[in-house]
Copies of this chain bind each other. A is one copy, B any other.
Amino acid sequence: MEKCLGVISAGNLENNFGALCIHRPVYMLPYGGRYRLMDFSVSNMVNNGIKTIVVYTGEKIRSTMDHIENGRPWDLDRRFKGLILFPPVTHGYTSNKYGDIPQFYSTMDFYETVREDTIFLNHPNIIAKVDLKAAFKYFKETDADITFIYKPQNDPWGEYVNCEKISLDEDNNLETMGMNLGTEKEFNMFIRSGFMKKEAFIRLVKEAIEKGDSDYLLDAVIRNKDKYKINGYRFDGHVENIRNLKSFYDANINLLKKDVARELFYQGGTIFTKTKDEPSTLYTESSKVQNSLIANGCVIEGTVENSIIFRGVTIGKGALVKNSVIMQKAEIHDNAAVVNSILDKQAVIGEGVRIAGSTLMPYVVEKKQVIRKD
């Protein structure tokens, strides 16, 4: 994988996440008690031997910079190679354009000078512990220009409408790619990861700019699919496709399933994230915790059930937290009740306050919002 460059490009779906994405891009959403979504992308690449990773940050760059610390958590704070952030260009040709093509184009110099000859494209809002070494081997052995990674997704309830759908011929070559509208109960979901020869990538971007016909790389691929050998690599593991508030909530709660937690947290290597130096979590005399994932640095005096508790959360005596996602340093005071909710960082639920959403539409408390009884 020495010759492969990781490229993380996230697009802008912030509007689907309401208050949770006012100050952060989607890939910076907290996940799994101590991580951000992007930690899974970056860690999986690093664990599979990718040494250089570029991130197109989008505009809300401050939270990204604070979290990424120049790549330190992944040992990517290097003089050579390592993690490189590309904030959007806000001047010149590309400044008023939508889509990833103008951003890729604004960094063409970089692609033309690096020694890597393959690009691994990744969308950080989709979590999947793909064995990238095996996928890369397939890409090389089939001598494809592009190999897309997909998962056969069973979807009887139409939960995956609007996700990317691809179809392949019997030799696994790409036939079509479009948006899933739920016409079939099972479809091949493209997980927006894949390998691409660098020369194909550069040509696709440049031609798209010259012809002015595509703002997005995937559009450019479809338009030119007959010019390239494009095939699919099948992945059968767990996938979390986080595209709105509901799927974000579910993805967190799914980690209470032993198999899911084991696959996402352990399979294929450690997930690295920014270290916070919290002490262990303290359970007092009055605590009662059942079926929950608890990060370090918490002090738990109340009752917690079926919930994900991030670092440094305090839960007071007589308080109840159920089916909820409680982010870093939130405070739930004595005798409060929080059910089917998402509390953003440093939210405060005052003594005796009761909040509840539904599992279909969790109640969201904004960052630093304080809810008190009056």
Which residues does A use to contact B, with CB under 8 Å? 22-23, 59-62, 65, 69-70, 72, 77, 79, 85-87, 89-92
Contacts and interface: CB of A to CB of B under 8 A. Distances in A.
Which 10 A-B residue pairings sit nearest by Cβ, starting from the closest? A70-B70, A59-B90, A61-B87, A87-B87, A65-B85, A59-B91, A60-B91, A70-B77, A62-B87, A62-B86
A38 B328 CA distance: 36
Contacts of A72: 79
A56 to B, nearest CB: 12
Contacts of A91: 22, 59-60
Contacts of A87: 61-62, 65, 87
A59 B92 CA distance: 12
Q: Which of A65, A72, A77 has the largest count of B CB atoms less than 10 A from its CB? A: A65
B77 A62 contact: no
In terms of DSSP, what is the predominant structure of the interface of chain A? loop
A91 B24 CA distance: 11
Contact of A70 (B69, B90, B92): B69
Contact of A77 (B23, B61, B77): B77
A59 B91 CA distance: 8
Contacts of A90: 59-60, 90
Nearest to A57: B87
Contacts of A79: 69, 72
A29 B347 CA distance: 44
Contacts of A86: 62
Q: Which of A61, A72, A79, A86 has the largest count of B CB atoms less than 10 A from its CB? A: A61
